[in-house]
Amino acid sequence: MSSTTNTISGADAIILALQAEGVETLFGYPGGAIMPLYDAMYRFGTQMRHVLTRHEQGAIHAAQGFARVSGKTGVCIATSGPGATNLLTGLADAFADSTPVVCLTGQVVARLIGSDAFQEADILGLTTPITKWNIRITKSSDLLEGISQAFYIARTGRPGPVVVDLAKNVLQEKINYDYQVCTGLPSYRPEPVAEDKKIRRAADWINQSERPILFWGQGVLLSDASDELRLLIDKAGMPAASTLLGLSAIPADHPLNMGMLGMHGNYAPNKLSAKADLIVAVGMRFDDRVTSDTSTFLPNARVIHIDIDASELGKVVQPHLAIAGDAATVLKSLIGFVEPALHEDWVAEFRSLKELEQEKVIDRDLSLNSELIQMGAMVRCLSERFPADTIVVTDVGQHQMKVARYYKFNTPRSLVTSGGLGTMGFGLPAAIGAKIACPDRQVISIIGDGGFQMTMQEIMTIIQEKTDVKVVMLNNGFLGMVRQWQELFFSKRYASTELINPDFVKVVDAMGLPAKRISSSSEISDGVNWLLASNGPCFLEVATDPEENVFPMVPPGVPVSDMWLEIINNK
């Protein structure tokens, strides 16, 4: 950006700074301390779109959805006190899932900070553990530099959320506007340079391996490394499996894509991880849902761990070779040194176990023979009927796992879900942000009846913003994932998991959104036809089997290689 010098209000300067950063959409909710910034937006007119959510948590989840599918930095705004504290869940979620979000929060005037003034909260102290960086600006002279650094830190290296806490006086004072987009900070090295000798050693290990598996995570998507990932596994003939957040990096039907890792992942990659002699882990952090008991995890494998965040290397699983670097850059270098291979016998073992899972689990989950709707059957029908580049945004629970298992993702950045924090209520507002970011792609929000009731007010945001989101609620009348654990490990003591729900169709219809309900397997196709034919946003309630479980499953304390295909020990 070229330098221009003008004396303007801090609020006006923020609007210009956001424009300089390429921001076109803001998600937020106004209030007293942040009001000068909203006034500036009003006076600037239509140069920037503001999406008025119905709750600040909805604003940050929408900003997350926007960021996750676009690769840009999401921006949200909240006022001081309760407005800012309502962002905390979203900040923790964005921090866990490495989502670049800049949150502008109002604060009382500088002279009142620390006096317990009306709607004052120590947002800096509250957000320090759950942000990549935060800053409080009490002097107008610090405003522009603080904002430019915030955007740079949020989007570079391993992305994450940043909070800029703005004292109200800073928004009102006059400053000299001379904004410079930040291109570097002296003490911050966002992208480590991988050592060439380590890359060559990794290639040697891959070439020597007889039973390799590549694990990939969201880091592949964040670095736009999907092509490099596919080229590497094709050349090395290496079976590959994804974390939940890594899904969609390569097509679901790729012959070396063996599915998902973890507690409710696919049988073959979990089972055969115990036989692997080499694991190449790229852009993933060995979450406990992937490893289970780390003392029994990968007993026979050398581990190569590639991650842009050096602090992840050795944090959970001690690698034999740690490479700090950007996924796309490292994979591109690796491809040049890896020798072509097939590993046909090893791949055949995966395919054999995939057939077993198909027989024991998948055929049952996708069955249309039952009167009661199976979640997997509904998800698979959506996958088969909607466009290949459809973006699916889920909430958290059984439906989330069914989507991960049965929706065939073929386009990068086409799944948005809450992984590390597991935030119920995430799905609906995140879908709004995803649709605004990608207006030409179809967006489905697949949610459960429990999570829907946490942020269902955002239906009104969909209506006010005319956001074409297809909302599909899988209603089993329970907090399903908790109920499943109660069935398996608490002798069916369903403590506080059964939900007495409203008539969702009437509620959503009263809000002004077309709504429909289906309750038998024979209606699935008609329900999907209705979604596809609807011109604009709509809501489909799907009454599902209340006792349906998610299998395979790794029970607590059990090695991932011993995962259950069905109930084998019901205490």
Active-site residue set: 56, 118-119, 168, 481
Q: Any idea which residue has 């007993």 for tokens?
A: 299
Structure tokens given for 508: 């959503």
Q: Do the Cβ atoms of 445 and 469 come closer than 8 Å?
A: yes
**Quick check: helix, strand or coil at residue 472?**
strand
Is residue 79 within 8 A of residue 105, CB to CB? The reply is: yes
Q: How many CB atoms lie within 10 A of CB 352?
A: 10
Q: Which long-range contacts (CB under 8 A, 24 or more apart) does 536-539 make?
A: 536/466, 536/468, 537/462, 537/463, 537/466, 537/467, 537/468, 537/469, 537/470, 537/471, 537/513, 538/470, 538/471, 538/513, 538/514, 539/459, 539/471, 539/473, 539/504, 539/505, 539/508, 539/513, 539/514, 539/515
Phi, psi of 489 (to 5 degrees): -125, -5
Partnered with residue 77 across adjacent β-strands are 28, 104
* 545 vs 554: CA distance, rounded Å: 22
54/228 Cα distance (integer angstroms):
41
How many residues are there in the chain? 571
Around Cβ 487, how many Cβ atoms within 10 Å? Answer: 17
- Distance from C-alpha of 103 to C-alpha of 100, rounded to nearest angstrom: 10
Chain centroid, CA 73 distance in Å: 14
Least Cα distance to 212 among 303, 287, 293 occurs for 303
Give the distance, in angstroms, between the CA of residue 310 and the centroid of all CA atoms in the same chain. 21
Give the Cα separation of 36 and 48 in Å (integer): 16
Q: Give CA 304 to chain center in angstroms.
A: 25
Contact at 8 Å (CB) between 211 and 276?
A: yes
Backbone angles phi, psi at 414, to 5 degrees: -110, 0
Token code pair at residue 275:
């036989």
Q: Which residues contact 62 (CB under 8 A, 6 or more apart)?
A: 27, 51, 53, 74, 76, 429, 430, 432, 433, 436, 458, 461
How far apart are the two ends of the chain, measured CA to CA in Å? 65
- Interhelix angle for 398-406 vs 480-489, to 10°? 100
Query: Are the C-beta atoms of 74 and 66 separated by less than 8 Å?
Result: yes
